[in-house]
């Protein structure tokens, strides 16, 4: 969804921006609304596939799970983004996200 919106020209990331996650665009708008002091943005990107493990084959050979199973080979890496808000802002931030999320993510916020 965000990638399509970027392609349509509704959202224009800066040339040095590497984070194109929906949470990044939300937190940028939240900082405009609530200030940056009470907000914290963090993300986690899984660097390796934890689904790689040895498999004992019926002929007693040992193979790597990703070589044996196409399903395991195609499990996507985990990408998680968090937006934290100071306790006194948390309810207002959650309400703002609920009300404005779609507009921010489609690039139609004012």
Of 84 and 22, which is predicted with more confidence?
A: 84
Identify the pLDDT of residue 2.
47
Q: Is 19 left (phi over 0), alpha (psi -120 to 50) or beta?
A: beta
Break the chain into its structural domains and give their ranges.
Answer: 2-106
What is the mean pLDDT of the segment spanning 76-96? 92
pLDDT of 74 above 60: yes
Find the mean pLDDT for residues 30-59: 89
The pLDDT of 38-49, averaged and rounded, is: 86
Q: Pick from 6, 45, 39, 36: which is nearest to 22 by CA?
A: 6
pLDDT at residue 37 tops 80: yes
Mean pLDDT of 26-54: 88
Average pLDDT, the chain: 82
CATH number for the domain whose boundaries are 2-106:
3.30.70.1370
């Amino acid at each position: 969804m965000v990638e399509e919106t970027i392609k349509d020209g509704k959202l224009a990331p800066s040339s040095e921006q590497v984070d194109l996650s929906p949470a990044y665009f939300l937190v940028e708008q939240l900082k405009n609304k609530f200030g940056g002091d009470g907000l914290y943005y963090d993300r986690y990107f899984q660097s390796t596939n934890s689904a790689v493990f040895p498999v004992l084959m019926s002929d007693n050979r040992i193979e790597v799970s990703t070589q044996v199973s196409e399903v395991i080979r195609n499990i996507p890496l985990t990408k998680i983004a968090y937006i934290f808000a100071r306790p006194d802002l948390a309810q207002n931030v959650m309400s703002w996200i609920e009300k404005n999320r779609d507009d921010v993510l489609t690039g139609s916020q004012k």
